[in-house]
Amino acid sequence: MSPVLRPRPSGGSRILGVGSRQPDRVVTNAELCAGLDTSDEWIRQRVGISERRFADSNESLIDMAVQAGKNALADAGVSPESVDTVIVPNCSMQAQIPNAAARVAHRIGIPDAGAFDLNAGCSGFCYGLAVASDLVRAASARYVLVIGAEKLTDFVDPLDRTTAVIFADGAGAVLVGASGTTEIGPVVWGSAGEQAEKLRLNENRYVQQAGNTIFRWAITRMPSAAVQALDAVGLTPADMDVLLPHQANLRIIKATEEALRMQGMRDDVIVADDIKCSGNTSAASIPIAFDHMRKESRVKSGDIVVAVAAGAGLTYAGQVFVCP
């Protein structure tokens, strides 16, 4: 007779708290234009950024992740000792071993945590949130801290206008816990490994990308992932309150918004556009933008939020959750 495992309790999951950390240094287009063959007008028209945040040499990815994680715990009113798992989506750790998550957990004061990094590029936060939700629902974890954190300026050639004007640094975090109802929907995700040659680190470990190719791929994948994620929880674009796209490029955000409006998204839906002042922070962009929106009262508890991402990392993801 085959052994039978005792079933573990399962239920719903929800976001309990949100927090972020951005470097203090604000870098304007004018500052970048002083050393690049570009202009403020070109940057605003092509990517929609007016300023971004750069970390100095004394602030690491770990430092930003720690502060964002602490802020999320404070927002949730949960002590570090109660957390048992830490996930740090990122693609910009200088050293892969030891991972960021274990170091972040230690510095926050989370004892003996399950801890791992997750590299899915710009979709990293959605991937991390999906894993956290499933861990909680399966009772493998009680509280999971998900911290998207990036120090992309370590991998950007300051003389390359195709990347130097886009990427920035920062961290955003959410705490995921159990819920009697389903407040985090299933993830819709995928990848495009066949396009691997379109994005790489060169011999100097600087990011190089075929921007137009990734742009075209992203504006196709993001709207479809959003619709599929809504369908997975029995909703349509008409039911959403907030569109929370990865802050990659304002033209990608606008294209995604327009595509969803054609499929029934209401005119009063709030669309995150943090790209204007934060730049592209890859796996950190969605939680940073969400934290800013909550602090500015642009979103409210109970709102239906659709988070969606595609881009560097050649992955995409869409997920629906309820605003805490």
Q: Tell me how far apart the alpha carbons of residues 299 and 194 are, in angstroms, rounded to a whole number.
A: 38
Token pair 């750069």 is found at 54
Whether residue 202 lies in the annotated active site: no
Question: Counting Cβ atoms within 10 Å, is residue 297 exposed (0-12), middle (13-18) or buried (19+)?
Answer: exposed
Q: Which of 29, 71, 99, 122 is catalytic?
A: 122
**Cβ-count burial of 40 within 10 angstroms (0-12 exposed, 13-18 middle, 19+ buried)?**
middle
Active-site residue, 106 included: no
Phi, psi (5° rounding) for residue 288? Answer: -65, -50
3-state secondary structure string across 105-157: HHHHCCCCCEEEEECCHHHHHHHHHHHHHHHHHCCCCCCEEEEEEEEHHHHCC
Please indicate whether residue 91 is annotated as part of the active site: no
Catalytic residue of the set 126, 280, 292, 323: 280
Of the listed 90, 246, 249, 292, which one is catalytic? 246
Q: For residue 158, is the peptide bond before it cis, meaning its omega torsion is within 30 degrees of 0? A: no
Q: How far is CA 87 from CA 19, 104, 209, 295, 322, in A?
A: 15, 9, 27, 24, 20
| Residues annotated as catalytic (active site), given as ranges | 122, 246, 280
